């Protein structure tokens, strides 16, 4: 396992925005396809049409560039949470905010797919960043979704069923990224046309609302059964 430690890069200059962006996009593609160890800074610089000094200037070294690509090429957890955690949102509004975070990146072409491949490679060839992603990104977003579901299902403290529901809801969005190639083969029309991702967003919200309603119905049935249980009889 290779530890990718934080490195101190020099402050970014405003006139270098395009150069920095080219380096990040070139690095994303190469890291996703080849991995951290097998990708050289020279390859990245050549693919970005810049020089090795630019990598040192903006990112410090290869490890700093890798960290930046891994975390910056996707949404920040706090921004994602802000879309759905507002207590004033309706359930549909909160779910729409949740799935915007999954659907919008797909409009950027192959960037989302490369990010997914990079994450998959990081799991198989760990540098230590995936665990950081879980603890600092996925876990806070999961906790925020549990809070949303708790409000709308009137559940004061998350239980295992609420956690299971939250994971299933997130899974609907994750599936769009993990199975891009599968969708392109079994149902290619679903991702074609200017309105394709708008349709995905609408349907994800609709399906998710049905899942939440099913859980609401299940909990209501449990409460009814408990209220009608003969005194002294314990549930199986």
Give the architecture (CATH level 2) of 75-227. Answer: Orthogonal Bundle (1.10)
> Could you tell me the residue ranges of all domains in the chain?
14-71, 75-227
pLDDT at 11: 47
CATH of 14-71, one of 3.30.465.10, 1.10.3720.10, 1.10.10.60, 3.30.930.10: 1.10.10.60
CA 62 to chain centre: 24
Q: Compute mean pLDDT per 10 residues along the chain, 236 residues long, and list them.
A: 46 65 96 95 96 95 96 91 98 98 91 92 91 95 98 97 98 93 94 94 98 97 73 53
pLDDT for res 228: 60
**Which pLDDT does position 6 carry in this prediction?**
43
């Amino acid at each position: 396992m290779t530890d990718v430690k934080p490195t101190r890069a020099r402050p970014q200059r405003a006139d270098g925005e395009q150069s920095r962006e080219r380096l990040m996009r070139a690095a994303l593609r190469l890291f996703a396809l080849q991995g951290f160890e097998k990708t050289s800074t020279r390859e990245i610089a050549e693919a970005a049409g810049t020089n090795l000094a630019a990598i040192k200037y903006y990112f410090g070294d290869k490890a700093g560039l890798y960290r930046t690509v891994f975390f910056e090429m996707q949404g920040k957890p706090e921004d994602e949470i802000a879309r759905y955690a507002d207590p004033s949102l309706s359930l549909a509004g909160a779910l729409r905010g949740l799935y915007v975070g999954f659907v919008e990146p797909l409009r950027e072409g192959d960037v989302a797919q490369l990010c997914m491949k990079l994450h998959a490679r990081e799991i198989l060839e760990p540098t230590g960043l995936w665990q950081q992603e879980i603890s600092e990104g996925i876990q806070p977003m999961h906790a925020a979704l549990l809070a949303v579901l708790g409000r709308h299902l009137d559940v004061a403290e998350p239980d295992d069923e609420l956690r299971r529901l939250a994971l299933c809801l997130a899974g609907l969005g994750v599936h769009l990224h993990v199975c891009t190639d599968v969708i392109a083969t079994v149902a290619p029309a679903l991702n074609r046309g200017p309105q394709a991702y708008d349709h995905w967003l609408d349907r994800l919200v609709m399906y998710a609302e049905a899942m939440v309603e099913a859980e609401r119905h299940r909990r209501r049935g449990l409460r009814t059964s408990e209220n009608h249980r003969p005194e002294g009889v314990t549930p199986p």
